[in-house]
């Protein structure tokens, strides 16, 4: 690999870094295919992997798919915070090695297991370029490698199983992923004291806790607009007393800032909420998607002294804006009943407004069409159903 990735190769990549990849494939596809892949990956994943490419400008991508499947730098940096200092660890699904790169500065040694020979070769090459000396790469199926591993019990195993079936369809149950971590639990427990496993953010947390023996911690990572990751920490030597004692951390990352909300299922079970409808001048608080994924729908109200609209309407309100609320907060301008006379004049008052719905029985797109309003304008319409099953249109500044 080193021979073909010479100065001339990278000079060509640098010279064409801003070129249209489709035109390059037509013009240079037969002679510079590998170089075009490097250009395309830098164009498509340059933002996601900005820190990696800054550290290793000549980072080699074995394929575009490898870049698509790779963990982004921001998420990998968060993963590395969960690695114990000087841990002996293995990444069973190393892929492009972004997690390995970030964790290498904390762990004492990492065994990166990757069954695809091209990815494994690229991983060795990139770790060398990065000056990382505490990573060894094994090209093997992780199950076979784990069976044959005879070294000292590892402190941590990291695994990100593929969420695609043989025919390419998405799967969401952890036992249906590849590899099947649930089926491997006895072997993993024998070889490591802890495991971090990344799963689909669509997976039900209760199901995840039930499927993974000795799960002690759930992490839900997201942005202000979506839930991005869900992963579990399994500690075989220190299992929780009950499944409801599992700690759940909902972490939202946005432009360098971080919001965290910690809870447990047992806290949510005993939490109480007061219901009502907001008035003009109140503040409506909408939790970030990661917090909602954590399932703390009543606990959020109790912890921040807020009222809730209904059991299944996950929007909250109060007379003051609560400090540190893990979500967006806006002041109420108007609260209007969902009635024909209101609908008829709504467009005149708010020709452009962002529309969102919570337990409303209608999509935001359908409501926007019914009102005849355009998007934008700086204000937000939140359509909700209250505890008495009445529908309301809440205009937020």
- What is the reported pLDDT for 343? 93
Report whether pLDDT(161) > 90: no
Lowest mean pLDDT among 171-175, 202-206, 356-360: 171-175
Please report whether residue 386 resides in a domain.
yes
Please report whether residue 53 resides in a domain.
no
CATH number at residue 233: 3.40.50.150
Report residue 3's pLDDT band, with 50, 70 and 90 as the boundaries.
low
Helix axes 21-28, 33-45, angle to 10 degrees: 180
Mean pLDDT of the region 317-343: 94
Mean pLDDT of the region 229-233: 91
- What is the reported pLDDT for 190? 95
User: What is the percent of the chain with per-residue pLDDT over 70, rounded to a whole number?
Assistant: 97
Report residue 219's pLDDT band, with 50, 70 and 90 as the boundaries.
very high
DSSP for 184-217 reads HHHHHHHHBSEEEEEE-TTS-HHHHHHHSTTEEE
Give residue-wise pLDDT tens across range 9-40: 999 999 999 999 899 999 999 999 999 999 99
Residue 391 φ then ψ, to 5°: -100, 140
- What is the reported pLDDT for 213? 83
The token duo for 232 is 């579990």
- State which of 235, 266, 297 marks the end of a domain: 266
Structural domain for 370, as ranges: 271-396
Same domain flag for 312 and 363? yes
Please report whether residue 51 resides in a domain.
no
Report whether pLDDT(166) > 60: no
Report whether pLDDT(301) > 60: yes
Same domain flag for 217 and 91? yes
Please report whether residue 195 resides in a domain.
yes
Residues 6+ apart with CB under 8 A from 386: 275, 276, 277, 309, 310, 313, 392
- What is the reported pLDDT for 110? 97
Report whether pLDDT(167) > 90: no
Same domain flag for 98 and 188? yes
- State which of 244, 266, 288 marks the end of a domain: 266
Lowest mean pLDDT among 175-179, 347-351, 393-397: 175-179
Same domain flag for 205 and 138? yes
Same domain flag for 123 and 221? yes
- What is the reported pLDDT for 325? 94
Annotate 30-57 with b (16+ C-beta within 10 A) or e (fewer): eebeebbbbbbbbeebeebbebbbeebe
Report whether pLDDT(171) > 80: no
Q: How many domains does the chain have?
A: 3
- Strands 354-358 and 380-385, bridge-based pairing: parallel
Give residue-wise pLDDT tens across range 335-381: 999 999 999 999 999 999 999 999 999 999 999 999 999 999 899 99
Please report whether residue 87 resides in a domain.
yes
- What is the reported pLDDT for 1? 66
- What is the reported pLDDT for 4? 77
Same domain flag for 326 and 177? no
User: What is the percent of the chain with per-residue pLDDT over 90, rounded to a whole number?
Assistant: 80
Same domain flag for 157 and 190? yes
Please report whether residue 52 resides in a domain.
no
- What is the reported pLDDT for 207? 87
Same domain flag for 178 and 220? yes
Residue 183: CB atoms within 10 A of its CB come to 11
Same domain flag for 298 and 252? no
Any alpha helices (H) in the chain, and if so which ranges?
A: 7-15, 21-28, 33-45, 50-55, 64-69, 73-80, 98-103, 117-129, 142-148, 181-191, 205-211, 265-270, 289-293, 299-304, 340-349, 364-371
Same domain flag for 172 and 290? no
Please report whether residue 63 resides in a domain.
no
Q: What predicted TM-score, i.e. pTM, was given to this entire model? A: 0.86
How far is Cα 393 from Cα 368, in angstroms, rounded to an integer? 12
Same domain flag for 20 and 76? no
């Amino acid at each position: 690999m080193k021979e073909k990735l010479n100065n001339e190769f990278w000079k060509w990549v640098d010279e064409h870094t801003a070129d249209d990849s489709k035109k390059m494939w037509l013009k240079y596809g037969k002679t510079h295919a590998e170089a075009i892949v490097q250009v395309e990956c830098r164009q498509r994943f340059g933002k996601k992997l900005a820190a990696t490419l800054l550290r290793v400008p000549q980072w080699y991508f074995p394929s575009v798919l490898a870049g698509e499947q790779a963990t982004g730098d921001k998420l990998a940096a968060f993963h590395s915070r969960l690695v114990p200092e000087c841990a002996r660890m293995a990444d069973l699904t190393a892929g492009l090695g972004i997690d390995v790169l970030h964790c290498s500065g904390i762990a004492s040694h990492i065994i990166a297991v990757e069954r695809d020979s091209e990815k494994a070769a690229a991983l060795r090459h990139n770790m060398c370029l990065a000056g990382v000396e505490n990573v060894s790469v094994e090209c093997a199926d992780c199950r076979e490698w784990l069976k044959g591993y005879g070294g000292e019990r590892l402190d941590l195993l990291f695994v990100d199983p593929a969420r695609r079936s043989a025919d390419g369809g998405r799967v969401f149950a952890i036992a249906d992923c590849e590899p099947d971590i649930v089926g491997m639990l006895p072997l993993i427990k024998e070889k490591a004291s802890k495991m971090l496993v990344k799963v689909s953010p669509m997976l039900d947390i209760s199901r995840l806790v039930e499927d993974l023996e000795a799960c002690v911690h759930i992490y839900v990572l997201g942005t202000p607009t979506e839930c991005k990751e869900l992963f579990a920490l399994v500690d075989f030597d220190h299992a929780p007393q009950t499944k409801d004692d599992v700690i759940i951390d909902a972490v939202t990352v946005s432009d360098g800032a971080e919001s965290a909300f910690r809870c447990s299922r047992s806290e949510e079970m005993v939490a109480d909420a007061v219901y009502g409808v907001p008035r003009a001048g109140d503040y409506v608080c909408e939790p970030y998607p990661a917090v909602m994924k954590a399932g703390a729908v009543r606990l959020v109200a109790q912890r921040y002294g807020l009222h809730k609209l209904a059991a299944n309407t996950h929007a909250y309100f109060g007379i003051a804006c609560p400090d540190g609320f893990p979500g967006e907060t806006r002041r109420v301008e108007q609260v209007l009943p969902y009635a024909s006379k209101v609908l008829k004049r709504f467009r005149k008052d708010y020709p452009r407004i962002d529309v969102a719905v919570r337990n409303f029985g209608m999509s935001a797109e359908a409501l926007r069409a019914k009102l005849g309003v355009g998007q934008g304008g700086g204000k937000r319409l939140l359509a909700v159903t209250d505890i008495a099953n009445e529908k309301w249109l809440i205009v937020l500044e």
